[in-house]
Amino acid sequence: MTAKPKGSDRPWLKNYKLGPYNLKQTLEPYPRIPVHRFLDDSADAYPAQIAVEYLGRRIKYEDLRNYVNSLARALAQLGIAKGDRVATVLPNCPQFIITDFAISKAGGTLVPCSTLHKVRDLEYEIGESGARAVVCSDEAFGLVEKLKGTTKLEFIVVTSPLDYAAAEPQPQDFPGAYNFKDLIAKHEPHPPEVEINPVEDLAYLSFTGGATGVPKGVMITHYNRTCNIRQALWMLEPLWPGMKGKAALETLVPLFHSYGHLGMQVGMALGLRLLLVSDPRDIDQAVNLLKENRPMVVYVVPTHLMRIAERNLGRLPVMFMSGAAPLPQQIFEAIKKDIMMPVSEGYGLTECGPLTHANLSTFSKITGLAARETLGIGLPVPDTEVKIVDLETGEELAAGQSGELLIRGPQTMKGYWPKPGSGLDNGWLHTGDIARMEENGYFVLEDRIKDMANVSGYKVYTTEVDQVLFKYPGVAMAAAIGIPDPERPGSERIKAFIKPREEFKGKLNADDIIAYCREKL
């Protein structure tokens, strides 16, 4: 293997361009402010602009800030003080946004929990974080209520996902819990005065198994997230004049996920109209919002794109931003053919803010500022250090060689809860992902280390097998894994799971697919 020469430059810097526009190579110094300042600044600049559109209801920036301030005051009067953790179990709804910024203004730390969690999962995250309060949906109340005796949970705030929809539901009574809307109605929009140290104080404690396999609490400070919001805004800067306080953003990604969370905050920072899809699995609702509003940006994961491509929507002047999972080339090509726009792929981890890479070439193509695109997760965002190292020796590798992706930057976590610095190696995060850097500084994600199979001494990247299977006629979805080879101790063989397209059910032949793979792999 060829080691990367010491002192080599960062080749991605020369490609910091959006079409003809040269983008900044550094964003330093970053503002040292609490995250809620982004909302306050937009509410000052665009008070009458619609901040959130949700199930027929529109909320202006000025009103959104008032809701946030009232809830922050309520939380403070209920005893939430600086450093206290407050968990949420909320679907995509205005209440998540209100709670997010209200916790920040109260000086607390948000612990976003998945709405798919079972009691055991919630007990682990709420118990491990030491959360004193939970804001949850009425659907999750029954699960959360069970945690009062087994965790440090002191009180629960309940809301219906329809509370801020055009058609509001009849109020329900949840004994022993506070009503979300009542708290806002009963408290003046004057948040408590809390002194926040952006560099040290935690804004978020998100649990993830991304880089470790075992769920751990990721400590993200106000400074970490502020830096990441600025890094995400960076590639949009040439478009700001036509976006700020004017454009719309649609998100199909759960807000409790770090990717969806960051996307929402980027929209708030630009004063955009956020189109919330109440259920990210509801493609009909998502497509209707697309057709009716023509948002400038749409945040999705690859599964959304696959289902959207099946709708044959025709040309749409929207920018699809895909993340959270590798984007199969077949889905990329299908969307590009259908709406005549490529998809911009990015990369990141909860531990890194989450954004670390953005594909400027596809983004330039989408905006009409470039004629062609380069596939892959793109370039490191400003002030982000990245290196590829040998899996066995840890030696830094040259361009074109595959190894583990390591990341360090101002957006990188403070550490795993509760110990600052834990999970980091001199500031570097070992992502557990296998990638390579091309000569032009663009990065290509190849596989997870734990998903790499060892076949008779050869390293097989299961994602490469997936890509081949995706191109087989009649295959809708595919996933390959390594399993022990009973004939070769210590070796593995490849096993693939395939979901056929509807019209091919019962028609695919395993032997034919194996023969196809032998030819292509």
Q: Nearest to residue 327, comparing CAs of 267, 395, 376, 379? A: 376
Residue 334 reports pLDDT greater than 90: no
Task: Give the C-alpha separation, 208 to 521, whole Å.
Answer: 33
Task: Give the C-alpha separation, 428 to 421, whole Å.
Answer: 10
Task: Give the C-alpha separation, 485 to 463, whole Å.
Answer: 19
pTM: 0.88
Task: Give the C-alpha separation, 183 to 176, whole Å.
Answer: 14
DSSP 421-457: TTT-BTTBEEEEEEEEE-TTS-EEEEEEGGGEEEETT
Inter-residue contact 309 to 286 (CB < 8 Å): no
The pLDDT assigned to 2 comes to 45
Q: What is the mean pLDDT of residues 88-92?
A: 98
pLDDT digits (tens, 9 = 90+) for 215-254: 899 999 999 999 999 999 999 998 899 999 999 999 999 9
Task: Give the C-alpha separation, 305 to 257, whole Å.
Answer: 18
Task: Give the C-alpha separation, 149 to 417, whole Å.
Answer: 23
Task: Give the C-alpha separation, 169 to 212, whole Å.
Answer: 42
Lowest-pLDDT choice from 165-174, 204-213, 388-397, 413-422: 204-213
> What's the pLDDT band for 423 if we cut at 50, 70, 90?
very high
The pLDDT assigned to 372 comes to 62
> What's the pLDDT band for 332 if we cut at 50, 70, 90?
confident
Inter-residue contact 470 to 330 (CB < 8 Å): yes
The pLDDT assigned to 7 comes to 34
Residue 15 reports pLDDT greater than 50: yes
Residue 339 reports pLDDT greater than 90: no
Inter-residue long-range contacts of 513-518, CB under 8 Å, 24+ positions, other chains counted: 513/469, 513/472, 516/468, 516/472, 517/465, 517/468, 517/469
Task: Give the C-alpha separation, 291 to 36, whole Å.
Answer: 31
Q: What is the mean pLDDT of residues 252-267?
A: 96
Residue 4 reports pLDDT greater than 50: no
The pLDDT assigned to 370 comes to 53
DSSP 240-288: HHHHTTT-EEEE-S-TTSHHHHHHHHHHHHTT-EEEE-SSTT-HHHHHH
What domains appear along the chain, each with residue ranges and CATH number? 61-196 (3.40.50.980), 456-520 (3.30.300.30)
* Average pLDDT of every residue of the chain: 91
pLDDT digits (tens, 9 = 90+) for 112-124: 999 999 999 999 9
Q: What is the mean pLDDT of residues 475-490?
A: 84
**Amino acid, res. 298:** V
Residue 35 reports pLDDT greater than 90: yes
Task: Give the C-alpha separation, 301 to 254, whole Å.
Answer: 10
Residues paired with residue 57 on neighbouring β-strands, in sequence order: 54
Interacting residues of 81 by C-beta distance below 8 A, sequence separation 6+ = 106, 107, 108
Judged by DSSP in three states, 115 sits in coil
Q: What is the mean pLDDT of residues 393-400?
A: 96
Inter-residue contact 208 to 350 (CB < 8 Å): yes
Residue 47 reports pLDDT greater than 70: yes
Inter-residue contact 228 to 188 (CB < 8 Å): no
Inter-residue contact 504 to 472 (CB < 8 Å): no
pLDDT digits (tens, 9 = 90+) for 427-451: 999 999 999 999 999 999 988 787 7
> What's the pLDDT band for 374 if we cut at 50, 70, 90?
confident
Q: Nearest to residue 128, comparing CAs of 96, 151, 161, 149? A: 151
